[in-house]
Amino acid sequence: MSEIKDYSKLSLEELVAEQKKIKKQQMYTAGLIGMLVGVIVYGLVINGFGWLYIGISVFMIYIINSGSKKLKLHQELIKAEISKKSAA
């Protein structure tokens, strides 16, 4: 889902399916970010401050978050298109 699709060409059912797919991806990214935060907390509690697990985890959270912003953009475009098609 790297490029923005032309959602105006999709039917209402296809838009709803695409919206569900994006919501599922957002749930996975939220779970992964939560797991990485857990790794950071666990590492701090057990080993104290360490750049290895903190640095890698923070970097991965940053990458996942930037991908999540793209998903949010797609979600907003789909919502707008669904509202247009529902009103018509």
pLDDT in tens, 15-39: 888 889 999 999 999 999 999 999 8
pLDDT tens column, 36-82: 999 889 888 888 777 877 888 899 999 999 888 888 888 898 898 88
- Which of 73, 60, 75, 70 is CA-nearest to residue 22? 75
Q: How confident is the model at residue 87 (pLDDT cuts 50, 70, 90)?
A: confident
Domain that holds residue 43: 12-81
Residue 58, domain member (yes or no): yes
- Which of 40, 36, 39, 43 is CA-nearest to residue 63? 36
C-beta neighbour count of 40 within 10 angstroms = 17
pTM comes to 0.76
The one-letter code for the residue type at 47 is N
Residue 7, domain member (yes or no): no
d(CA 42, CA 40): 6
Give the chain's domain count.
Answer: 1
Residue 41, domain member (yes or no): yes
Residue 4, domain member (yes or no): no
- Predicted confidence at residue 55, as pLDDT, reads 86
- Which of 24, 54, 50 is CA-nearest to residue 38? 54
Residue 74, domain member (yes or no): yes
